[in-house]
Chain A
């Protein structure tokens, strides 16, 4: 079974600063994918960034980047130049290749960006 752990329930950051959200996971799968999703008050889950486990290079999407440590099973999200619109819940999620694959989510972290 796969598990995803987000141990920080809440974080706060000043606008324009950098913040890092932590995530660890556990799996016996060898071919898997990791995601960070953002859920604003509108409730819709929005894909922020994805990482394929077989790729050593950390994924980057504009102000968002990840630190993927495969051996440590760690997958943190760094948000640079934080903006007020980044205020939301952030979920780390895992899936794998194969039959019956599904997304497994962590409990999420509430990020508040202060003006």
Chain B
């Protein structure tokens, strides 16, 4: 399988609810990162996983959590949703050194009302 696939593409949730976003990476992509992109802004790093272990985290509260699975899929979970969590969430993965860059999915547009 090629490319990075994210689901769902769009999602509307109510403030205070919990949400799980999913990402399926290419086979062999051991590193996966999640980014939050507010409208008109650059993506902000949430966290990164390498071989199912978190190995980096940005300036996001603990209610943002994640998992990476052996089949190269991963999840982003957000608890107690706030209106400011409305954004495009991007998943990115790579199979080698940093110089190769990352392959991105098309993102999940989350709207919190």
Contacts and interface: CB of A to CB of B under 8 A. Distances in A.
Given A45-B90, A100-B48, A102-B45, A35 B55 contact: no
A108 B106 contact: no
Contact of A50 (B48, B92, B99, B105): B99
A45 B99 contact: no
B99 A103 contact: no
A50 B41 contact: no
Contacts of A104: 45
Interface string A34-67: 0101000011111100101000000000000000
B107 A43 contact: yes
Interface string B33-63: 1010000111111001000000110100000
Interface residues of B, number: 26
Nearest to A37: B104
Size bin of chain A's contact surface = 20 to 34
A78 interface: no
A106 B44 CA distance: 9
Given A43-B88, A45-B90, A45-B92, A105 B101 contact: no
Interface string A91-109: 1000111011111111110
Contacts of B99: 33, 50, 52, 97
A97 B97 contact: yes
B31 to A, nearest CB: 9
A100 B106 CA distance: 24
Contacts of B104: 37, 44-46
A101 B101 contact: no
Nearest to B101: A47
A96 B101 CA distance: 11
Contact of A43 (B41, B92, B106): B106
A35 B104 CA distance: 13
17 contacts: A33-B98, A35-B101, A43-B106, A43-B109, A45-B90, A45-B92, A47-B102, A47-B103, A50-B101, A91-B42, A95-B98, A97-B97, A100-B55, A102-B45, A103-B33, A103-B102, A107-B42
